[in-house]
Amino acid sequence: MPRSVLIRIDRMFDLKPEFLQSVSNLEALEHRLAEDLSLLEIPPKEWVPASEYEGARILDVVIIGAGMCGLVAAAALKMLGIHNIVCVDRAPKGLEGPWVTFARMETLRSPKQLTGPALGLPALTFRAWYVAQFGTNAWEQLGKIPKNQWMDYLIWYRKVFALPVRNLVSVMNIEPVHDDLLALNVIDSGSGKAETLYARHVVLATGRDGLGGSYVPEFVESVPRKFWAHSADDIDFDALREKRVAVVGAGASAMDNAATALEAGAAKVDMIIRRKDLPRINKFTGIASQGVVQGFAGLSDEWKWKFLEHTLGAQTPPPRDSTLRVSRHPNSRFLLGTAVRGMHEEPESVVLKTSCGDLEYDFVIFATGFRVDLDRRPELVKFAPFIRFWKDVFTPEPGMENGELASSPYLGADFEFLERVPGSCPSLRLVHCFNYQATLSHGKLSGDIPAVSDGGRRLARGIARSLFVADRETHFANLVAFETPELLGDEWTDAAAAIADLQRGAAE
Ligand SMILES: Cc1cc2nc3c(=O)[nH]c(=O)nc-3n(C[C@H](O)[C@H](O)[C@H](O)COP(=O)(O)OP(=O)(O)OC[C@H]3O[C@@H](n4cnc5c(N)ncnc54)[C@H](O)[C@@H]3O)c2cc1C
């Protein structure tokens, strides 16, 4: 909003000077960003030749998902001059991803100074955005980033980069038109209209559950939903007031859901934890470095597996703040060493069958994570039988088996799916898996905040290379046709007489 308009609103509503100052500081930051981009000649001009299919303009890239990874992918593509793109998300604007929906922590786990999605631009960092509005003192006093504020930052990021996002658009399926073209059937829940988008590349920035969905043990599914939820569900916590609640699991989401139930007035909350002790060390964070970010993809399959098997085996501890947020309530219990073996319904409650006996509750929250299950992703149904997974090509040493790793897609250098049987589905290479499931192939570049810009750049460079190679004939024809002279021919005088003199001299 222009400052002049704000000043008039200020008179009408008695707005505080600090508010006006923060708005103008943010405007100044946006100005600085625009200037930095202009100095760096970003974004460069468009270079991908336009093409059509049956009268419709073909998009160079469709990104599915406008969460953090989708936005970074879109920005990284724009920074390489690939402008004919669209990013679609089924969520309403501002509600993409987990941050203000099912993320129930108070703050991010990540340290505040991480540059995350900023793509190397200082003015695009969370820190610059925060300091512009709240000042340096507030930044120094800030502990961790409140999760809602992270969402506000992502909304700003999208705005200042003018990213082409369409909200309320769900991708229902993707299918090959031919080896170099994909069709996406989408539904716009705003207008209710179905539409087909044609794309040369598709990026799946579909999040933690992008290749499957939330996981609960099979025995849970036959129990009526009024008695249980997964931690990523929309849960009515007010309804848990004065209820007996169990939370199965001990990760970050388990703690945050338990804390939210306790804060909503649950009579008691039991944490049902299979392990005899909580993991205490966050392994991968311990070796975070540019070496890991840039080098992981260069490891052999054996070493990639070894690194991640060790990390997953050790498990990620819940954040200390989230754990204290639960344990400070006297009506919370940590039932360590308690494995859940079954669940059945009673007239007014449910009973969890555990290794420590039967436990009765009014409601159970399963914070049991996500898993790959392509049957649950209709958008991938046409490609599912052809995708190569790690279990198709890699056998770990005895004792190092891991189901989660085995079901990771075995990706190529640009996050693209590879065929299980070479030649069976050539268009599969046009679909790039830019979500958490890429971790075993690429390292943590497409799910968490720290290295998401590195992931976005790797993805965008790969797509740029692939587009250029595919259009080589057009680019070559442009090269041949290019006839703008740099020299006009009047820059020198004909030296024929001087050369003749030189030759005569040499002959004598
Ligand atoms: C509760 C929680 C807390 C986290 N906290 C941290 C943290 O503190 N630090 C950290 O580094 N990481 C954290 N993470 C991990 C990671 O940063 C987040 O999961 C982040 O949201 C990943 O971004 P994304 O873009 O991959 O996925 P998302 O943000 O989940 O975005 C995916 C988007 O895809 C859309 N979508 C999916 N399928 C379709 C479809 N078919 N059609 C249209 N749209 C579709 C969804 O609507 C969604 O908006 C956390 C994750 C969770 C779940």
For residue 16, give both structure tokens. 């505080």
Q: Are residues 358 and 222 part of one domain? A: yes
DSSP string, 202-226: EEE---TTTTEEE---GGGTTS-GG
508 burial type by CB count under 10 A (0-12 exposed, 13-18 middle, 19+ buried)? exposed
Q: Are residues 173 and 249 part of one domain? A: no
Q: Comparing C-alpha atoms, which of 234, 140, 235, 178 is closest to residue 54? A: 178
Pocket-testing residue among 63, 89, 435, 459, ligand 1, by greatest number of atoms within 8 A of Cβ: 89
Q: Are residues 235 and 168 part of one domain? A: no
86 lines ligand 1 (CB under 6 A): no
List Cβ neighbours of 417 (8 Å cut-off, separation of 6 or more): 383, 386, 387, 388, 409, 411, 428, 429, 431, 432, 433
Closest ligand 1 atom number to CA of residue 231: 1
Given a cut of 60, whether residue 388 has pLDDT beyond it is yes
- pLDDT tens digit string along 454-466? 999 999 999 999 9
Q: What pLDDT was estimated at residue 505?
A: 82
In this prediction, residues 433-445 reach a mean pLDDT of 97
Q: What pLDDT was estimated at residue 1?
A: 47
Pocket-testing residue among 150, 173, 182, 206, ligand 1, by greatest number of atoms within 8 A of Cβ: 206
Q: Are residues 380 and 348 part of one domain? A: no
114: left (phi over 0), alpha (psi -120 to 50) or beta: beta
Number of domain units in the chain? 2
Q: Are residues 277 and 228 part of one domain? A: yes
On whether residue 177 sits in a domain, the answer given is: yes
- The 3-state DSSP class for residue 48 equals coil
Peptide bond into 318 cis (omega under 30): no
For residue 480, give both structure tokens. 């041949």
Residue numbers of the domain that contains 221: 216-284+316-366
207 lines ligand 1 (CB under 6 A): yes
62 lines ligand 1 (CB under 6 A): no
Q: Are residues 354 and 329 part of one domain? A: yes
On whether residue 2 sits in a domain, the answer given is: no
Q: How far is the CA of 4 from the centre of ligand 1 (A)?
A: 38
Q: Are residues 380 and 280 part of one domain? A: no
316 lines ligand 1 (CB under 6 A): no
Mean pLDDT, rounded, of the chain: 95
On whether residue 91 sits in a domain, the answer given is: yes
Q: Are residues 207 and 177 part of one domain? A: yes
On whether residue 490 sits in a domain, the answer given is: no
On whether residue 323 sits in a domain, the answer given is: yes
List Cβ neighbours of 330 (8 Å cut-off, separation of 6 or more): none
Given a cut of 60, whether residue 9 has pLDDT beyond it is no
- pLDDT tens digit string along 10-46? 555 566 667 667 778 999 999 999 999 999 999 999 9
List Cβ neighbours of 412 (8 Å cut-off, separation of 6 or more): 418, 429
- pLDDT tens digit string along 113-163? 999 999 999 999 999 999 999 999 999 999 999 999 999 999 999 999 999
In this prediction, residues 359-385 reach a mean pLDDT of 96
- pLDDT tens digit string along 455-502? 999 999 999 999 999 999 999 999 999 999 999 988 988 778 788 888
On whether residue 144 sits in a domain, the answer given is: yes
CATH number for the domain including 279?
3.50.50.60
Q: What pLDDT was estimated at residue 503?
A: 85
Please report, for residues 45, 69, 73, 187, 434, the alpha-carbon distance to residue 203 in angstroms, rounded to integers and kept in the order given.
22, 10, 8, 18, 6
- pLDDT tens digit string along 60-109? 999 999 999 999 999 999 999 999 999 999 999 999 999 999 999 999 99
Q: What pLDDT was estimated at residue 398?
A: 97
In this prediction, residues 192-218 reach a mean pLDDT of 97
